[in-house]
Amino acid sequence: MTPSDHLAPRPGTAPPCLLPWQRWPDTASIRLFCFHHAGGAASSFTGWQEGLGPAVTVVPVQLPGRERRIRQPRFLDFGRLLDELDAQLAPLMEGHYAMYGHSLGGLIAHELTRRLVATGRRAPELLMVGACAPPHLPRSAVAPRNASDAQLTSWMRGLGGVPDRAARHPAWLRRSVDLLRDDLCLAHSHPRHPAVPLPVPLRVLAAQHDPLLTPAQAQEWARHTSYDFQVHTLPGGHFFHREHPEATLRVISQLLPVATERI
């Protein structure tokens, strides 16, 4: 039995945070765990497996309260979310792996890495965060508990997170706003703490026109690693991974061999 055979989930045993049809190619050199943005879902990484090829196993992580987990209550507390992800993903992080988190997902990936390092477990070969301000800086997102639905909609539309067709489907828009509000509450529950350098290479993917992550803020992530650090600038705005998927995957595919070279 190969290590990948041992770690591959059997039918009916895959953790709830993984897609039920998750592929586990035996030939993959590294796993890439992907954490989605606030108001989003694992489907935002559709096409990544095909785009990155067989040497990488793309593992989109699905938070509860959306898509196939729609009936499950959403997390509003960061610590409780980490407890669930830690329990469900730890057996799959015994081999070589990397993490990518977009926006809220960047906070999740970073905080999960902090926990793994603090408890003496295997850290990712590479940590990548996209469209995510470093956690030691003040929050820039709208305050979710005090904002009206109209304010949240306007904020989300300003970031490019509301398709034009959504205006014709008020029920869908209302559900999207409810999801965004809860996810922003989750982000605001993130424990603010001084920057602690982690022994993990760190890459920041930042877009040219993202109002939530300025070039200066992207450089502030350097405080969070004691290994090498790089910022990669992409075209587009906050959701550059949807606006320019080919450019995004091209950068990630160039970064991942850095991790596999350490295997």
User: Is residue 176 situated within a structural domain?
Assistant: no
Residue range of the domain that includes 75: 3-137+194-256
* Cβ-based burial of 259 (10 A; exposed 0-12, middle 13-18, buried ≥19): buried
Contact status, residue 232 vs residue 206, Cβ threshold 8 Å? yes
User: Is residue 198 situated within a structural domain?
Assistant: yes
User: Is residue 158 situated within a structural domain?
Assistant: no
CATH code assigned at 132: 3.40.50.1820
User: Is residue 236 situated within a structural domain?
Assistant: yes
d(CA 62, CA 242) in angstroms, rounded, equals 17
> Is the overall model pTM greater than 0.85, yes or no?
yes
User: Is residue 154 situated within a structural domain?
Assistant: no
**Phi, psi at residue 204, to the nearest 5°?**
-115, 125
For the chain, what is the domain count? 1
Q: What is the mean pLDDT of residues 210-225?
A: 96
pLDDT in tens, 238-260: 999 999 999 999 999 999 964 44
Edge-to-edge strands of the sheet including 97-102? 56-61, 30-35, 97-102, 126-130, 202-207, 229-234
Q: What is each CA distance from 164 to 2, 149, 218, in whole angstroms?
A: 48, 17, 30
User: Is residue 85 situated within a structural domain?
Assistant: yes
pLDDT in tens, 144-195: 888 999 999 889 888 987 766 666 778 888 899 999 999 999 999 998 888 9
pLDDT in tens, 75-130: 999 999 999 999 999 989 988 999 999 999 999 999 999 999 999 999 999 999 99
User: Is residue 71 situated within a structural domain?
Assistant: yes
pLDDT in tens, 34-78: 999 999 999 999 999 999 998 999 999 999 999 999 999 999 999
